[in-house]
């Protein structure tokens, strides 16, 4: 493996560690660090929260041993060289005798911005980087936006039907997106932003929770380009490098040839696969299946995350002994995957006796109830129609409500549930001291006053409020704007939308 690929691999690990502190760092950067010696991590650190020591200092303070010769300190953000809330990281790097540092991206903060690199190089430290710069900048895009634009990164998320509708003709709520789209949005949008923002009308009309409930594994139809990771062989004896999603939260290695095969099979399914897929798709069995889903080193023909159920359709028996051996090893490896049940059917079974195959699948679904706790479960929400698939996540974003006239219902979920202390209501400055505002503050809801005119807030003032630390609110760096139409238009008219995502429903 090339040095570049090795550095990239460990930088991805820095990002994974850094992501554990999302939202906790306030208006600062998410940073992770690993100390690698002889291709092994011997120490790691993370910027755990606002005002706490940075990742490099966290690592070096916890690692009491002498720094081994040849060890490399990896960190996704350039080490700081100024005295802020904590001492300069360059100081402790030099004090501990670290001789090699690999960084992901330059710090956009004007107090650093290349100066940290210069300090280390001037002291004789070998500095490598930037490494995986695009991934590191994308990962900390909110921090970069706050430091360079003075405002959070803004992602606009919309949903509309194929004919362009976003609500029913009478203005009532219209369910547009599928469960799979919702799961994707919770996984890759809500879980990747510091806050979800909506207008007051959305709360009045829909009474949303604005939380993360449906986060799941990445979907195979939306795989980003893979990057080299490790040349280690797989149980089936395949050759070549493994591949790994650049997203630091999705550590699923897949052999290159297997990934290529999966993409090909999605376009050209066998008759048996196509026949079974027609019965599994669209939630016909009461749960969602996906085709060609990556699990460990392999690609399953069908997979249901709700029940951790995989389905494989086997072709004809191989005459070649070596091929049979590889198939047996592959089967054994799949069956050993923790918490995944594997059902196997032959082509003939599916094509000639599909009802029996479906009955076997249904029986397995009744044996294994939906996962709860760390997995996915189904619950009935009082006063709402239909089951709601819910995940219990440790990360929950801030919930921001733009409400100039402070008309939010006092029984709305965002101001009455257990997470109400994570709700921020932005109201006209003239109403910030009203009786309603004080009542909400008494519940633990944050109410901030911002100048408004004609129902529109002064955006520079709004950004200042949301990015400036005050008492126990330490600011934020990224916002997912989910609605409604008026709020979308205000953001677009102001030219503050950095990214727009449209989900098209039926």
Catalytic residue numbers read: 56
Q: How far is CA 24 from CA 29, 203, 243, 418, 488, in A?
A: 10, 26, 31, 18, 27
- Return all residues near 262 (Cβ < 8 A) that are at least 6 apart: 220, 254, 292, 294, 299
Q: How would you class 421 by CB atoms within 10 Å of its CB: exposed for 0-12, middle for 13-18, buried for 19 or more?
A: exposed
Residue 99 has φ and ψ, to the nearest 5°, of -100, -15
Q: Residue 211 has what DSSP assignment? A: S
Helices vs. strands in the chain: H and E counts, helices first: 16, 23
Q: Is the dihedral angle over the CA atoms 43, 44, 49, 50 positive or is it negative?
A: positive
Helix (H) or strand (E) holding 65: none
Q: Which residues contact 470 (CB under 8 A, 6 or more apart)?
A: none
465 in helix, strand or coil? Answer: helix
DSSP state of 66: P
Partners of 36 in beta bridges: 41, 72
Give residues with Cβ within 8 angstroms of 270, minimum separation 6.
313, 315, 347
Strands 499-505 and 153-161, by their bridges, are: parallel
Q: What does the alpha-carbon distance between residue 93 and residue 473 come to, in Å, rounded to a whole number? A: 31
Cβ–Cβ < 8 Å for 300, 292:
yes
Rounded CA gap, 205 and 174, in Å? 11
């Amino acid at each position: 493996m090339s040095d570049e690929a090795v550095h990239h691999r460990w930088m991805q690990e820095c990002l994974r560690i850094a992501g554990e502190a999302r939202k906790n760092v306030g208006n600062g950067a998410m940073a992770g660090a690993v100390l690698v010696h002889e291709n092994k991590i011997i120490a790691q650190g993370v910027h755990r929260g606002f005002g706490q020591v940075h990742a490099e200092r966290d690592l070096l303070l916890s690692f009491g041993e002498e720094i081994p010769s040849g060890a490399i300190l990896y960190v996704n953000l350039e080490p700081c060289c100024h005295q802020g809330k904590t001492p300069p990281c360059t100081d402790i790097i030099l004090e501990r005798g670290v001789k090699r540092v690999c960084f992901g991206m330059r710090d956009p903060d004007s107090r650093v911005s290349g100066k940290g690199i210069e300090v280390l190089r001037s002291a004789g430290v070998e500095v490598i980087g930037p490494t995986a710069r695009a991934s590191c900048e994308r990962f900390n895009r909110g921090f970069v936006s706050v430091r360079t634009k003075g405002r959070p990164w803004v992602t606009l998320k919309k949903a509309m039907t194929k004919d362009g509708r976003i609500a029913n003709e009478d203005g009532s709520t219209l369910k547009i997106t599928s469960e799979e789209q919702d799961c994707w949005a919770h996984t890759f949008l809500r879980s990747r932003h510091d806050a979800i923002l909506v207008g007051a009308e959305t709360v009045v009309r829909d009474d949303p929770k604005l939380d993360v409930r449906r986060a799941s594994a990445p979907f195979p139809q939306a795989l980003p380009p893979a990057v080299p990771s490790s040349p280690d062989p797989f149980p089936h004896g395949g050759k070549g490098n493994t591949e790994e999603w650049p997203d630091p939260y999705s550590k699923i290695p897949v052999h290159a040839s297997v990934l290529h095969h999966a993409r090909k099979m999605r376009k050209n399914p066998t008759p048996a696969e196509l026949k079974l897929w027609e019965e599994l798709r669209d939630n016909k069995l009461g749960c969602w299946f996906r085709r060609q889903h990556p699990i460990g080193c392999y690609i399953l023909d069908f997979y249901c995350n709700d029940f951790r159920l995989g389905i494989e359709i086997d072709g004809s028996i191989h005459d070649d002994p070596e091929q049979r051996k590889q198939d047996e090893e592959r089967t054994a490896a799949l069956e050993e995957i923790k918490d995944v049940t594997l059902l196997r059917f032959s082509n003939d079974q599916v094509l000639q006796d599909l009802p029996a195959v479906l009955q076997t699948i249904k029986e397995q679904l009744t044996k294994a109830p939906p996962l709860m706790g760390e997995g996915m479960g189904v619950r009935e929400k009082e006063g709402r129609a239909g089951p709601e698939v819910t995940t219990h996540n440790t990360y929950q974003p801030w919930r921001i409500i733009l409400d100039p006239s402070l008309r939010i219902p006092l029984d709305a979920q965002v101001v009455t549930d257990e997470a109400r202390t994570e709700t921020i209501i932005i109201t006209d400055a003239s109403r910030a001291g009203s009786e309603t505002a004080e009542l909400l503050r008494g519940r633990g809801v944050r109410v901030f006053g911002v100048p408004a005119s004609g129902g529109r807030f002064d955006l520079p003032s709004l950004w200042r409020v949301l990015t400036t630390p005050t008492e126990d609110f330490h600011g934020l760096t990224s916002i997912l704007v989910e609605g409604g139409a008026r709020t979308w238009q205000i953001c677009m008219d102001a030219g503050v939308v950095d990214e727009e995502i449209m989900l098209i429903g039926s």
